[in-house]
Amino acid sequence: MRNVDPGFTPDAAGHEALWQWSIDRPEVFWRAVWQFAGVIGEPGRCVLEPSAQGMRFAKWFPQAQLNFAENLLRPSGNADALVFWGEDRVKRRMSREELRREVARFAAALRALGVQPGDRVAAWLPNMPETVVAMLAAASIGAIFTSASPDFGVQGALDRFGQVAPKVLVGVDGYFYNGKTIDVLAKLAEVAGQLPSVERVVVVPYVSSAPAIGEVAKAVTWSGFVAPFAGATRIEFTPLPFDQPLYIMYSSGTTGVPKCIVHGAGGTLLQHLKEHQLHGDVRDGDRLFYFTTCGWMMWNWLVTGLASGATLLLFDGSPFALDGRILFDFAQAERMTHFGTSAKYIDALAKTGLIPRERYDLTPLRAMFSTGSPLSAEGFDFVYRSIKADLQLSSISGGTDIISCFVLGSPILPVWRGEIQCRGLGMAVDVFDDEGRPVVGEKGELVCTRPFPSMPLGFWNDEDGAKYRAAYFERFPDIWCHGDFCEITEHGGLIIHGRSDATLNPGGVRIGTAEIYRQVERLPEVLESLVIAQNWPPESLGDVRIVLFVRLRGGVELTEQLIARIKSTIREHTTPRHVPARILAVADIPRTKSGKLVELAVRNVVHGQPVKNVEALLNPEALDCFRNRVELETD
C-alpha cells in the first residue's frame, strides 16, 4: 500500500480487522476508495442503495457521474503508457500523450459513424496497442466494448459477437505464435459477413504492412478510418452514470453458447483501483504486465492499470518463445515491477529447467500474480527459489463473472506457501458447507454474502434476469455462490480446491481436482494432468471412480512403476480416497483460450456425450485423446 508507515510490520490481525470494517461499513469504505484513488467524477451523496428484493438489486453510487476512459487517460506527458512486444517480431512504444492523441482520433471516427452510448464496439484483436485505443475510444463515448482473441475460430467469434450485435468490428490481419505467422483475414471476412449489425470493419495491419482487405465487407484499414480526423486532439469524455455498461464479457462457453455478462463502468473502475493499489501495490510509474489474450478478463484488469499511473507492458505470442526466455527478456528490458501470469505457466516453466534469477536482473520486480487455476505449494517454492526471493507472490482468484477478484494478495501480509493471502477488501467472502453454514478449516462453497460494486449489471438478452439468478443465486437464497470449492485456512488465507462442478465424489466424499494436481505434477516425468469422475459401474446410480490422465515428458512412458509412484505420491500426501482407479497417458490435454483445463468437456467425451462448444477450446483436437479408451471399459 502507498501511505504505509515505513516502520509498519505485517499484522494479520490488523488486516483482518480492516477487512471486517470494509464489509461492515461498505458506504464508508467504498467512498474512501473513490477518494484515495482520486477518481475523476462526481460521486453523489449516496454510496449504496440497498433493495428489499435482495443483494443483486442493490445500487452503488446511484447519483454518480464519471467516465471510465477519462480516469485511465490522466495526463502524464511523455511517460510510457504502453510498451508492446509481438513475440520476437514487433516492438512498439507509446507515450501517454501519444495514447491520448490516438484515442482522440479513433473516438472522433466512431462518433462520425454515429456510435452512441450503449452501442457495441467489438474487437477481434491480439493484446496490442490498438485494442487499448479502441476500448478507450468506445468508453469515452459510453459505447460498450467487447473483445475476443483472433485465435478463436469463426463459430467461436460468432457465438460471442453474434449475440450482442456490434455496430463496429475491429479486426486484425493475422498474429504471431511460437515463431509462426497466422493469417486470419479470411476468417475476419467470414465473421464480418455474418454480422448484419456491423456498419464498419476496421482492420489493423499487424503481420503485413498493407493487408489485402478487399474480401472483407465494409472494411477499411485502421489508418484509413482515422485519417479524416488526424487533427483531433481533444477527447470529449461523456459524463455517464456509475452503472453505464462498459464491457460485455463471455463465459468460457465449453458447456453451451457463452453467457454474455454485462459489467458497469463505475464498479469495474473502483474494484480494479482497489485491487491494484491496495492489494497489488501498483503505484504511479510502475510497469505492469499480465500474460493474457483479449478473450480473458485479465486483459480488462491489466488495462485499468493506466488509472494508477502504471505503464502497461503488452505481449502477444507464445510465452515459451525463445526457449521459454521471452517473458523474462521482456521483464529485464522494460524493468517490469509486476509480473502477471497463470499457474499453468509457472508449473510449465518449472519443468523447463530455466532459473530466471541466474540469468536476469529482476531488481525492479516487486510482485508476481498468478491466476487461471490454483497455484500449487510447489509453484510457490519454484517462484521464490528460482525467480526472486523478495517479491509478493499473489495467487488471485475471481472471474469473468465479476471482472475482478474475490480473494487475492496484500503487500502487508506474509505469504504462506499454497495459500491465497486474503479476502478482498469490501468483499464479504465466506465458505459455506452444504447446509449454508460458514466454516473455517473445512472445504465448501466460496460465497459472497453482501453486495459489491463489480457485480454484473446482468446478462445480455436476459430481460427478466432468470439466467443471472440461476447462475449465482439459486444454490443459497440471496447469496452469491461462485462455484469454487474452497477452504479458509488458520492463517486467514484461502485455498481453492477446484471448480465445484468438477469436484470428484467417489463414495460420497467430495474431493477437489486441484488436490490431485498438486501431487501429480510434483513428479518430473509429468508435464501436466487432468482428472475426472467416471460413472462406475456404468449402470450405477451416482457412484463414480477417479480417472487421471497424464501428459508425460518426451521419451517417458507410463510404466507400471510410474503408475505406482503416482499413486503412492497421491496417497502419501492426501488420502487413499484421492488415489485414481485408472491412470492413462495422453498426448495432449484440452484447455480454453485462457489456458484453463476443461474437465467437464473431457468428462462428456469419456461418457460418450457431446461437447457443446468446441470453438471455445484452444486445442479441440486434444479431445480425441480421450475418446473410446478401452482401458475405461473394465474394472
Can you say whether residue 44 is alpha, beta or left, with left for phi > 0 and alpha for psi between -120 and 50 degrees? Answer: left
Cα–Cα dist 250/157, whole Å: 11
- What are the tens digits of pLDDT across the range 97-123? 999 999 999 999 999 999 999 999 999
In which band, very low, low, confident or very high, does the pLDDT at 4 lie, cut at 50, 70 and 90? Answer: very low
Are 591 and 348 in contact by the 8 Å Cβ rule? The answer is no
Are 147 and 275 in contact by the 8 Å Cβ rule? The answer is no
- What are the tens digits of pLDDT across the range 271-311? 999 999 999 999 999 999 999 999 999 999 999 999 999 99
Cα–Cα dist 386/515, whole Å: 24
Per-residue pLDDT averaged across 449-473, rounded?
A: 95
CA proximity to 245, closest of 263, 261, 260 = 263
Host H or E run for residue 65: strand 65-66
- What are the tens digits of pLDDT across the range 133-178? 999 999 999 999 999 999 888 888 999 999 999 999 999 999 999 9
For the purposes of burial, counting CB atoms within 10 Å of the CB of 231, is it exposed (0-12), middle (13-18) or buried (19 or more)?
exposed
Cα–Cα dist 325/319, whole Å: 8
Are 531 and 456 in contact by the 8 Å Cβ rule? The answer is no
For the purposes of burial, counting CB atoms within 10 Å of the CB of 180, is it exposed (0-12), middle (13-18) or buried (19 or more)?
exposed
Cα–Cα dist 588/624, whole Å: 9
Cα–Cα dist 120/6, whole Å: 47
Residue 254 has pLDDT above 80, yes or no: no
Cα–Cα dist 484/499, whole Å: 5
Cα–Cα dist 586/550, whole Å: 6
Cα–Cα dist 570/157, whole Å: 40
* Residue 540: predicted pLDDT: 58
* Residue 541: predicted pLDDT: 55
Are 497 and 503 in contact by the 8 Å Cβ rule? The answer is yes
Cα–Cα dist 172/296, whole Å: 18
Q: Spell out the residues 6+ positions from residue 540 whose beta carbon is closer than 8 angstroms to its own.
A: none
* 635 or 261, higher pLDDT: 261
Are 602 and 532 in contact by the 8 Å Cβ rule? The answer is yes
Cα–Cα dist 372/364, whole Å: 25
In which band, very low, low, confident or very high, does the pLDDT at 618 lie, cut at 50, 70 and 90? Answer: confident
Cα–Cα dist 589/620, whole Å: 9
DSSP 8-state symbol, 206: S
Three-state secondary-structure class, residue 380: helix
Residue 255 has pLDDT above 80, yes or no: no
Host H or E run for residue 144: strand 144-148
CA proximity to 594, closest of 318, 159, 147, 296 = 296
Q: Spell out the residues 6+ positions from residue 478 whose beta carbon is closer than 8 angstroms to its own.
A: 54, 55, 56
The type of residue at 513 is T
- What are the tens digits of pLDDT across the range 320-342? 999 889 999 999 999 999 999 99
Strand-pairing partners, residue 485, are 445, 498
Q: What is the pTM of this model?
A: 0.88
Looking only at the bridges linking them, the beta strands covering 494-499 and 544-552 are unpaired
Are 313 and 337 in contact by the 8 Å Cβ rule? The answer is no
Domains of the chain as residue ranges with CATH: 12-494 (3.40.50.12780), 504-632 (3.30.300.30)
Cα–Cα dist 84/91, whole Å: 6
Cα–Cα dist 500/272, whole Å: 26
Cα–Cα dist 4/104, whole Å: 37
The type of residue at 92 is R
Cα–Cα dist 391/369, whole Å: 10
What Å distances lie between residue 263 and 53, 191, 260, 279, 401, CA to CA?
20, 25, 10, 21, 9
The radius of gyration of the chain from alpha carbons, rounded to an integer in Å, stands at: 24
* Residue 611: predicted pLDDT: 86
